[in-house]
């Protein structure tokens, strides 16, 4: 069957929740993927920051094979060793003390919301429940995580959402101060907003947020589902700021390509959860946590975090060059490490399509931002290759726009 036959079958049986690219992928290795017709693509989407180790990293594949022969699932009624080992790795390399495992980012956010409320009601008072989140944030699609997400367009059609959230503009400390109420128990944000268009928290802003939390006894929750795990050039994005959150969510890259999420908390906060308060059947199952432990070790031992920083800087400056070369098309370049966005003055969909036709997968967010989240194993040569394609595409578009404007005068 060819691409269009598979897509027709998919459209027949799968709910239409995604505006998918017309591409059927069958194989991946490192920074490359292949479609059902054998065409090769350079993958600068990387499963949206999931495939940080590249596709089918040998250490992850090996751990999965090994664990699949031993124990796939055993319920959290019992202990399993890979879960304990991954939790130990996460705690020893972060500022947090305890881990709750689940299966996705949204679930990690749900767990964070529940823990924050439980802690706040017990320790701060019965009417402390409100969580302040940011406009343009993204925390997931389940009802609680969606309510926490500060994008009205994603709420459309799903009311009533769970109450108890208040949204403020990102990087605006005065608005945050004005939004504090006697009900506030926590502030939740992404140190680098991904889905919202790649916006980086300013240094002064995040220090101010942390200070407010410290002074008012509020919990600070960082959603590092996209920006964590080496992506921005530090293991966790909060390390750029030297700030330790009380609660942190992880998912995406955590399993090296396998579905897993985690919510981490400081000891004192974590204690608010007691047996029966929260659970997940598959959370922390041995298969996913074995992959997670292998992925985490690979991330550290293969020096991928430094790679994300140096190659990220290189890609950033090369994109800035493009921005200067095409001021009529590009507004600015933003981001940190290998989580980069180029805001365009035009809809980004034709850029994404043209890149795909030239063998490069990139992704558009918010309609006008080109998001680049390549695997951290990407080489400088592959970055140059991607830049070359993006440049060709921008050249073509700017020529078309120019000739069109010429034609109209």
Ligand X SMILES: *Cc1c(COP(=O)(O)O)cnc(C)c1O
Give catalytic residue positions.
138, 223, 252
Residue with tokens 């966790």: 236
Which residues make Cβ contacts (< 8 Å) with residue 168, sequence separation at least 6?
132, 133, 134, 135, 150, 175, 176, 178, 179
Comparing CB distances to ligand X, the nearer of 228 and 286 is 228
Listed residue (247, 397, 248) closest to 329, CA to CA: 397
H or E element in which residue 184 lies: strand 184-189
**Location of structure tokens 């949206």:** 48
Q: Which lies closer to ligand X via its Cβ, residue 57 or residue 371?
A: 371
Nearer to ligand X, 190 or 343 (CB): 190
The residue behind tokens 């005068």 is: 409
Q: Smallest distance from the beta carbon of 244 to ligand X, in angstroms?
A: 18
**Rounded-to-integer distance, Cα 44 and Cα 270, Å:** 36
Q: Which is nearer to ligand X, 18 or 79 (CB)?
A: 18
Q: Which is nearer to ligand X, 134 or 394 (CB)?
A: 134
Q: What is the C-alpha to C-alpha distance for residues 111 and 99, in angstroms, rounded to an integer?
A: 11
Structure tokens at 58: 């040998």
- Are 169 and 117 contacting, i.e. CB atoms less than 8 angstroms apart? no
Binding site for ligand X (CB under 6 A): 104-106, 109, 138-140, 190, 194-195, 223, 225-226, 251-252
Q: Is 104 or 385 the residue whose CB approaches ligand X more closely? A: 104
Kindly tell me which of 43 and 223 has the beta carbon lying closer to ligand X.
223
What are the structure tokens assigned to 79, written together? 């202990």
Closest approach, Cβ 287 to ligand X, in A, equals: 17
Token pair 């530090």 in the structure block, residue = 234
Q: Smallest gap, in angstroms, from Cβ of residue 308 to ligand X?
A: 16
Q: Sign of torsion, CA 17 23 26 31? A: negative
Q: Minimum distance between the CB of residue 109 and ligand X, rounded to whole angstroms?
A: 6
Place of tokens 């924050």: 116
Could you tell me the CA-to-CA distances from 144 to 121, 182, 216 in Å, in that order?
Answer: 18, 21, 24
CB of 358 to ligand X, least distance (A): 27
Considering the complex, what minimum distance in angstroms separates the CB of residue 139 from ligand X? 5
To the nearest whole angstrom, how small is the minimum distance from the Cβ of residue 67 to ligand X?
Answer: 21
Q: Which is nearer to ligand X, 140 or 283 (CB)?
A: 140
CB within 8 Å of 362: residues ≥ 6 apart: 44, 45, 351, 352, 355, 356, 370, 371, 372, 386, 390
Minimum CB–partner distance for residue 149 and ligand X (Å): 8
Question: Residues for the chain: how many in total?
Answer: 409
CB 238 within 8 A of CB 247: no
Buried-state track 293-312, b at ≥16 Cβ within 10 A, e below 16:
bbbbbbbeeeebbebbbebb
Structure tokens at 40: 């090769």
Look at phi and psi of residue 359 and say left if phi exceeds 0, alpha if psi is from -120 to 50, else beta. left
Closest alpha carbon to 260 in 281, 279, 283, 228? 283
As a whole number of angstroms, the distance between CA 103 and CA 292 comes to 12
């Amino acid at each position: 069957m060819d691409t269009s036959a598979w897509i027709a079958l998919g459209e027949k049986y799968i709910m239409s929740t995604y505006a998918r690219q017309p591409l059927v992928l069958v194989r991946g290795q490192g920074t490359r993927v292949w479609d059902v017709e054998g065409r090769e693509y350079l993958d600068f989407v990387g499963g949206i920051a999931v495939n940080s180790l590249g596709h089918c990293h040998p250490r992850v594949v090996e751990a999965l094979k090994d664990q699949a022969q031993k124990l796939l699932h055993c319920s959290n009624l019992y202990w399993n060793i890979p879960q304990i080992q991954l939790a130990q790795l996460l705690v020893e390399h972060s500022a947090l003390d305890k881990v709750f495992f689940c299966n996705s980012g949204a679930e990690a956010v749900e767990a964070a919301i529940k823990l924050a409320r439980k802690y706040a009601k017990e320790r701060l008072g019965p009417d402390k429940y409100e969580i302040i989140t940011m406009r343009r944030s993204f925390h997931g699609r389940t009802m609680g995580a969606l309510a926490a997400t500060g994008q009205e367009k994603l709420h459309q059609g799903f009311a009533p959402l769970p109450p108890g959230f208040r949204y403020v503009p990102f990087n605006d400390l005065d608005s945050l101060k004005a939004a504090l109420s006697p009900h506030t128990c926590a502030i939740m944000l992404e140190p680098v907003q991904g889905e919202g268009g790649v916006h980086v928290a300013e240094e002064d802003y995040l220090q101010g947020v942390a200070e407010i939390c410290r002074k008012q006894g509020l919990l600070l929750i960082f959603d590092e589902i996209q920006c964590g795990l080496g992506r921005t050039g530090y293991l966790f994005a909060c390390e750029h700021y030297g700030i330790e959150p009380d609660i942190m969510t992880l998912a995406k890259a955590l399993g090296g390509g396998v579905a897993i999420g985690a919510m981490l908390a400081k000891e004192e906060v974590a204690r608010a959860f007691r047996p029966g308060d929260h659970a997940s059947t598959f959370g922390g199952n041995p298969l996913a946590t074995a992959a997670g432990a292998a992925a985490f070790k690979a991330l550290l031992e293969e020096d991928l975090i430094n790679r994300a920083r140096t190659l990220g800087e290189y890609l950033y400056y090369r994109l800035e060059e493009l921005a200067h070369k095409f001021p009529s098309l590009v507004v600015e370049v933003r981001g940190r490490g290998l989580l980069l966005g180029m805001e365009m003055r035009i809809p980004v969909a034709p850029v994404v399509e043209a890149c795909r036709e030239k063998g490069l997968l990139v992704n558009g967010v918010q309609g006008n931002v080109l998001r680049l989240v390549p695997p951290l194993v990407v080489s400088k040569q592959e970055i140059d290759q991607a830049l070359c394609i993006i440049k060709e595409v921008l050249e073509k578009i700017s020529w078309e726009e120019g000739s069109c404007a010429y034609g109209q005068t």
